[in-house]
Structure 1
């Protein structure tokens, strides 16, 4: 490869030697019509190349030079005129009645994907957003929506056998269930640590209504996970799942049957976005012909399944939720919660909300939907928009895997069942890897050890007997030891600095008042604050942007501790420290050593920032009322 600098009046030209190799993912056939040789220029105007148009693949344009070598460039990095030329070529290809049988890098817009792919190679498309309708997020007066129709009951009530793990490094990576509740897909990925080891993606499709495993298929050399399942056929929407920024951006349709995998369409929905904003975080089939997706950057879009053409879109915050009847999408924008009518493509409800982002989920009936933002949970009535619950989850780590198995509970990705009506951590379910909801039935993927039995296990949560245990526990008048009206004793004796001790005391009094409680020497529960120096110094590693090596530093660590203590037992605890964050911004001429030296002191500001819980149950030594093991035979 060679590069040379032109004069100020010309552009830089980039060429590739005869040994250059085209980065193609599958066999490429020439375009039907001869392409003219032309000059292509990047968006900066600094670089140009003389070549003919060869095709488009995963958002990248491939160009062929006169000597036969190929170069590629992301579409968004071409100048505006060249981008328009590519769009015109796509449109022209759509009108050509002669179609090649073998996969072509250029998929004409509007061509059906059903005949597009082969067993080993998908057919790639380039989304055209120019015709997509932008939906205005505007309120329509009072929030008045009809109650959703009762969804169909769940399918089979017997476990469905799944393939066993074939390797120690293989794991159940994701699970998706069709909106109709008919089909489910479980995705396995295998990524051995050896440098030359091949990664593998395996997908299993089950018919939940009949309790049958329909088929499975595997692909080597690629990591993908199921993210949605078609309504009425064993078609799975797969998403690239590589590590790194922007590497969860590509979608494919796979059809799974007894013969294995048939790969259909492939496209990057948000190719114009950068880094993590282009990642696809959520997807769901709306019906036979439409699909909804949402990006990490917040673009919620509805697509034509046959052509992978975006129909409409709106910009939201966080991850939306599709109602069980699949007529509405609940979403959040800055300081507002809203509902989109899928068929009418318009916002039919919008109102102020105390949250601007998070993960949303509907209850099985669709009469409620919840939002989890960090540790804060909000519950809305779908028909009226009334905020029915606003609580803080303690000890629940949900991540993005949020499900509502009943009208009163949520199941976090960690397996914890939380009663959001009574605000209680009820039960822990262990032994399963992934879960999904269909018609009020929770399907739990139990993928055991290597070559051990695995199954997709149906259950209604909470399972039998849990409600009775909760009722018995709540009959105890001391079940909630911290709630509005509680008098709390504050203990700041473990803060040595007298001035800081007074400030922390005052801050905690205000926080208790915000929870409807008061501080007093005769409190029934103690709120204890303290700061202590760690036994040894913390070792930190930082590097400057653009550098490769790390610099090591040592820093005196101070631990800030805040806990509620009831009858000598810890009911709640939170820890902080004085260590700097992942990214550090240094001042002008400031060194890292100086930055660390300035922060080698107790972090009293932690007590100003910490959020107190709203309710606490009597500490028993266990985080919940009980736990159960999920096995291939059911809940034990």
Structure 2
């Protein structure tokens, strides 16, 4: 059971922020022997900071000394120029890392020479992702533990270098146990400036780069834990790095060494109405010095970072999403309505399934839970939970109005919870928006842990935490005990309407629906304001695929159940007669099975569907709470501040 919460780090944070105000970030070090330029004077001391070409040192007795840089020995000047990498101290006591049994990862830096003269790629000669042959079934075994294999600590970071600077990205590499925060400011400065903070998560130690004249943000930390893959974030007419351009940054102390520019998809200029080069939107380092890149037009490729040559690739449809298990050994690729399980090293699919109901997709995102056996998928204004072992849809939620439900981010922080758009915590079974988490610069989720990035004039912070925090859990529990909060609750009066079901199936559906209503604890009452409405549409001839090669034709019926109050839909579920995972009898072909299923709709859906036990009633927004959340919690450097 996870017990991390922001309040656990309050005292540590306060202390480290105070230290950061006195010691230049990334410069303080262990004691060493310092020598003047004549060689006559020596002192053992720790470096505090360098300011105006003067070095400040502290002896083991607590005395502070200063000496001009010009009067130091050449060895000490070289030390100041290069800086000591604080991660070397961490590596003396190795932190736990994810074990990748397929092959030992290459932890050396990628060759910079390849980045000076990137190869010209003939994509027609690159092997394509293999979606699998034959009529293979879905075959997914969740990892033993999809959680992080180490306990991350909070990291103190320097405050804003400029009033207009912001923390734009926070990227985690669980294989390296490192994360990187990227900062950029382009306003009120002659030229854009970018910098980064590289953090060792088990120790909480950070090194912070000096500003670099560029417009770039990090895409990921590579598996060596010291090299950052950067992406241009400038406009096409700015004269600085653009989104299709990548670069390697390595830190030596605070100084940045930059590789040449690499454009991984230079020929992908037009897709879905876009006319600029394809821009990487996701980067996932895996074993053997390989990197998975996904572009904004659906070009998915695995690159060898030593040569920048692709190992395999795939061109996905307009609606796509990619996510991996925490150990990076299994990858899920959603290509339109086909969900594939793929070996990221080889591009070989181990199985595929169809999304139930073939919903309209857009703004699609996927997240695994901490156990790795369930997947949360968001698309347009919908949210769906899938059991990855069976392919069953466990629950789904649609928000009224049609606006995207999670266009900027999706997390699966705990069972029954979704974090939408990096700030709204939804309790999925009750549909209650429990908490609106505000004022975080970034929230990133990996392996069931949320990493919160904060930045202010007074300091910065990266905190690993668990969501929901205790106050949110308490407020939800209080709401569950208050029937006035809910539209639906045990004992509520409901009416039944099966007018949308064809006559030949209506009696069967009504009986099944009565059983489901009784199971949910509702009272069936004629004329009740809340209506449970059933409908069946179809059949329609549709193409379906289970192996992502070729298609079959099936007669598809859609069974739909909705809950309405005063003519407004508050809840809906749907199911079809064609399952996501198809089980055939011995000697039976896929087409024969589909023909068998296409003879009638899935009327049993109306009995097996799980009607909500609790469903939040709409309420008017209060001041500062525009999201109808039970609680508003604001992130600060001293912890969470709650206000109902």
The alignment's TM-score, normalised by the length of structure 2, stands at: 0.58
Deviation at 1:288, TM superposition (A): 4.7
1:214 equivalent in alignment to 2:219: no
In the other structure, the counterpart of 1:175 is: 170
Deviation at 1:209, TM superposition (A): 0.9
Deviation at 1:259, TM superposition (A): 3.4
Q: 1:283 to 1:157 in 2, by over 3 A?
A: closer
1:114 equivalent in alignment to 2:128: no
Instruction: Tell me the SS of whatever aligns to 1:383.
Output: coil
Once residues 113 and 212 of structure 2 are traced to their aligned partners in structure 1, the CA distance between those partners, rounded to angstroms, is 18
In the other structure, the counterpart of 1:59 is: none
Deviation at 1:123, TM superposition (A): 2.4
Deviation at 1:362, TM superposition (A): 1.6
Task: List alignment gaps of at least 5 residues for structure 1.
Answer: 1-110, 490-512, 526-563, 573-612
Deviation at 1:387, TM superposition (A): 2.1
1:241 equivalent in alignment to 2:236: no
Tell me which of 100, 119, 126 is aligned to 1:126: 119
1:184 equivalent in alignment to 2:176: no
Once residues 381 and 208 of structure 2 are traced to their aligned partners in structure 1, the CA distance between those partners, rounded to angstroms, is 39
Deviation at 1:460, TM superposition (A): 0.8
Q: 1:408 to 1:522 in 2, by over 3 A?
A: closer
In the other structure, the counterpart of 1:472 is: 478
Q: 1:488 to 1:176 in 2, by over 3 A?
A: farther
Q: How does 1:19-98 map to 2 (within 5 A)?
A: none
Deviation at 1:631, TM superposition (A): 1.5
1:136 equivalent in alignment to 2:134: no
Q: How does 1:518-529 map to 2 (within 5 A)?
A: 522-523=528-529
Q: How does 1:350-429 map to 2 (within 5 A)?
A: 350-353=352-355, 354-355=358-359, 356=361, 358-393=364-399, 397-429=405-437
In the other structure, the counterpart of 1:582 is: none
Deviation at 1:243, TM superposition (A): 3.3
Q: Is the 8 A contact 1:175 1:185 kept in 2?
A: yes
In the other structure, the counterpart of 1:291 is: 291
Q: Is the 8 A contact 1:175 1:187 kept in 2?
A: yes
Task: List alignment gaps of at least 5 residues for structure 2.
Answer: 1-107, 270-274, 497-512, 532-563, 571-610, 622-627
Deviation at 1:616, TM superposition (A): 5.0
Once residues 471 and 204 of structure 1 are traced to their aligned partners in structure 2, the CA distance between those partners, rounded to angstroms, is 39
Q: Is the 8 A contact 1:204 1:213 kept in 2?
A: yes
In the other structure, the counterpart of 2:589 is: none
Residue by residue, what CA displacement relative to the aligned partner does 1:4-56 show, whole Å, maximum 9, x if unpaired? Answer: xxxxxxxxxxxxxxxxxxxxxxxxxxxxxxxxxxxxxxxxxxxxxxxxxxxxx
Deviation at 1:469, TM superposition (A): 2.8
Q: Is the 8 A contact 1:458 1:634 kept in 2?
A: no
Residue by residue, what CA displacement relative to the aligned partner does 1:51-80 show, whole Å, maximum 9, x if unpaired? Answer: xxxxxxxxxxxxxxxxxxxxxxxxxxxxxx
Q: Is the 8 A contact 2:452 2:463 kept in 1?
A: yes
Once residues 483 and 301 of structure 1 are traced to their aligned partners in structure 2, the CA distance between those partners, rounded to angstroms, is 48
1:314 equivalent in alignment to 2:308: no
Residue by residue, what CA displacement relative to the aligned partner does 1:526-572 show, whole Å, maximum 9, x if unpaired? Answer: xxxxxxxxxxxxxxxxxxxxxxxxxxxxxxxxxxxxxx988xxx998
Deviation at 1:522, TM superposition (A): 4.8
In the other structure, the counterpart of 2:100 is: none
In the other structure, the counterpart of 1:618 is: 617
Once residues 172 and 226 of structure 2 are traced to their aligned partners in structure 1, the CA distance between those partners, rounded to angstroms, is 11
Q: Is the 8 A contact 1:238 1:252 kept in 2?
A: yes
Once residues 280 and 243 of structure 1 are traced to their aligned partners in structure 2, the CA distance between those partners, rounded to angstroms, is 15
In the other structure, the counterpart of 2:219 is: 227
Q: Is the 8 A contact 2:322 2:332 kept in 1?
A: yes
Structure 1 window deviating more from structure 2 (168-177 vs 228-237): it is 228-237
Q: 1:207 to 1:366 in 2, by over 3 A?
A: same
Residue by residue, what CA displacement relative to the aligned partner does 1:327-351 show, whole Å, maximum 9, x if unpaired? Answer: 1111212322121122342111211
Once residues 425 and 276 of structure 2 are traced to their aligned partners in structure 1, the CA distance between those partners, rounded to angstroms, is 30
Residue by residue, what CA displacement relative to the aligned partner does 1:96-120 show, whole Å, maximum 9, x if unpaired? Answer: xxxxxxxxxxxxxxx9843439xxx
Q: 1:375 to 1:125 in 2, by over 3 A?
A: same
1:330 equivalent in alignment to 2:332: yes
Q: 1:488 to 1:295 in 2, by over 3 A?
A: farther
Residue by residue, what CA displacement relative to the aligned partner does 1:270-304 show, whole Å, maximum 9, x if unpaired? Answer: 11111256111111111251110111111111111
Q: Is the 8 A contact 1:112 1:307 kept in 2?
A: no
Once residues 525 and 256 of structure 2 are traced to their aligned partners in structure 1, the CA distance between those partners, rounded to angstroms, is 64
Q: How does 1:535-574 map to 2 (within 5 A)?
A: none
1:300 equivalent in alignment to 2:308: no
1:452 equivalent in alignment to 2:458: yes
Once residues 392 and 256 of structure 1 are traced to their aligned partners in structure 2, the CA distance between those partners, rounded to angstroms, is 46
Once residues 182 and 223 of structure 2 are traced to their aligned partners in structure 1, the CA distance between those partners, rounded to angstroms, is 18
Once residues 472 and 305 of structure 1 are traced to their aligned partners in structure 2, the CA distance between those partners, rounded to angstroms, is 53
The alignment's TM-score, normalised by the length of structure 1, stands at: 0.58
Q: How many residues align?
A: 418
